[in-house]
Chains A and B, each alone.
Chain A
Amino acid sequence: MSAPLTVPADSAAIAPGASPATGFWRRALRHRSFVLGAALSLLVLGAALLSLVWTPWSAYDIDIASKLHPPSAAHWLGTDVFGRDIVSLLLVGARSTIMVGVIAVGIGLTFGVCLGLIAAARKGWTEELIMRMSDFTFAFPAVLSAIMLAAVVGPGMLTSITAIGIFQIPTFVRVTRGSANAVWAREFILAARAAGKGGFRITIEHVLPNILSILIVQATIQFALAILAEAALSYLGLGTQPPQPSWGRMLNDAQTLLFQSPMLAVYPGAAIAIAVLGLNLLGDGLRDLLDPRLARER
């Protein structure tokens, strides 16, 4: 597990060569919450990647004979009620967590940013329509819409990803539209219009590059929210389906045995906490590092 932790140090060694990014990396490595956040996030990413090539045991093989073993040399964190190795489950679970996060945030980012940019560029009733629609989506509880979606198309990883993704759209619409409006009010936009550029070109060439850092920060925070939402949906039995392991499912399974072996709930809970904490710290750090005004003060 120490392998991913060395990665920031490695990138420091690379940094002096990459001249335009040198300043960024030098500041990044001095930023404590960024380094910690990046380390924790890379830990989760490393776990997911590792599970693709190696797990101590198979995460799918049921071995009732060795169920609920305490931690031992063979099973580092013990086994669950079906005799599956906890470490292996956590590693493979990281994979579905990351997949759900990436795809759901991808959906939210793509649709949300497009709609937000359109709202800011077109103004008038287009903006009103987009914003009221996203208010409507936002007002709906995510879990409720996921349950409804599951009722229609059946529960599963795809359902939970779609539901979380849709739930992410309004947040991105708001953040995009708000920051894009601020860019549209700047004088260089007027200069671009005086040069004869239309709304689409101005959006691509001026607005998007100027709000990109805000979107990156928002995406990391939304990633953390998506992980929590996925865990919640899996816990409710609406997300990842057995035998596919996921941290939320592990919590669900641990629930019935909470008094016999409480540690079964602690492991996936801790994994979720690490991932969410890491991404939040990473987002905070990126916000500081990508904001030129804050950077100068430092």
Chain B
Amino acid sequence: MTVLDQPAPAHETPLLDVKDLAQRYTLPRENLFKPAAHVRALNGVSAQVTAGKSLGVVGESGSGKSTFARLVMALERPTSGSVSLLGRDLNQMPPDELRRARRDFQMVFQDPYGSLDPRQTIARIVAEPLTALGRMDRAALRERVATVLRQVGLRDADMDKFPHEFSGGQRQRIAIARALITQPKLIVADEPVSALDVSVQAQVLNLMQDLQDEFGLSYILISHDLAVVDLLCDEIAVMYLGRIVEQGSPQDLFAHGAHPYTRALLEAVPRARAGGVRRRRGAQPIASQSTGSAGCPYASRCVLADQHCRDTAPALRPVGQAHLAACHYAEAVMALPPAVAESG
């Protein structure tokens, strides 16, 4: 199951290096006399993020995107594999050192209503990553909070208000301010705009883009929306059932996606086009890991699958310049006409 190390430019230590990450959850026991069932949420995922570059992770629900985010944030211990930030393995660090290292990577959550404590003022919420690091002078802290609030387009005066006084978009700005306050190198954003109105989504994404330009941040942007990822990321990883099935630049993926699943995702994006004919795809079975077959996990949903696919699982292999795919017929899939005409 091991994914081969990808041919990455290895002269400098990458900002984030994820190696062969696997996470297995034990389900509640249903039968006293049978061993408890497991779910493999992540199954050998490797990825690298270079400083200043961003990685997008897309996939349907249950593909392991959020587990990946939690493991990168060291909120859980992986079953196996490693997550290294600037060459240091997060899970090998003593707790105190890990707490200090958290300064360099912060997180923005999906739900702007649930991720801010309703009983705390904005100043306390935004300052939390700093106060977690140790005691700090109150005046300096407020000064710093005011600075980041301005950076995300809010006013200084907002810091003594409570979260319920803000709209969804403003709350997500507050959440971004909280992530920015330690001047991190990496921000993991788990579906940062999916809970927002479409008009507000664009504002928040533009803000994230501006901050990236200004501070040279890296994002790991987790989303089910390819357009969102395309806007902010230099590289996209497509996940399916806990594995990366295709990885490459947005141009590569949009113009000649090499995995049938990537194609299916792109075709599923609803587009308004004048005179366009609406095609409807047949309903597809939901991804399930219950089949213990040795073949390609996508075989049951794949239009191209044959006996070879059902017997042997394809490994993630290079199919082009910095473009990887896990499909026996990647070259044939790439030759198909692009699913999306407009890209980039």
Name A's B-contacting residues (CB within 8 A).
Answer: 186-188, 190-197, 201, 205-206, 209-210, 292
Contact = CB atoms under 8 A, between A and B. Distances in A.
B138 interface: no
A189 to B, nearest CB: 8
A192 B129 CA distance: 8
A206 B117 contact: yes
A191 B132 contact: no
B228 interface: no
Point out which of A191, A194, A209 has the most chain B C-beta atoms below 10 A from its C-beta.
A194
Contacts of A209: 117, 119-120
A194 B114 contact: no
A195 B132 contact: yes
Interface of B: 73, 75, 98-100, 102, 106-107, 109-111, 114-120, 125, 128-129, 132-133, 164, 175, 178
Contacts of B109: 187, 190-191
A188 B73 contact: no
Cβ-closest 9 pairs across A and B: A187-B114, A196-B99, A195-B129, A187-B115, A195-B132, A196-B102, A196-B132, A209-B119, A188-B117
A52 B128 CA distance: 48
Nearest to A186: B114
Nearest to B133: A196
Contacts of A190: 75, 107, 109, 115
B119 A210 contact: yes
A292 B162 CA distance: 13
B75 A195 contact: no
B118 A191 contact: no
A191 B178 contact: yes
A247 B136 CA distance: 55
Given A194-B129, A196-B129, A292-B118, 8 more contacts: A188-B117, A190-B75, A192-B132, A196-B100, A197-B128, A206-B120, A209-B117, A210-B119
B117 A210 contact: yes
19 contacts: A187-B110, A188-B116, A190-B107, A191-B107, A191-B109, A191-B115, A191-B128, A193-B75, A195-B106, A196-B98, A196-B100, A196-B132, A201-B132, A206-B117, A209-B117, A210-B117, A210-B119, A292-B118, A292-B164
A259 B164 CA distance: 62
A195 to B, nearest CB: 4
A194 B118 contact: no
Given A187-B109, A187-B111, A190-B109, A197 B117 contact: no
A194 B119 contact: no
Contact of B128 (A186, A192, A210, A292): A192
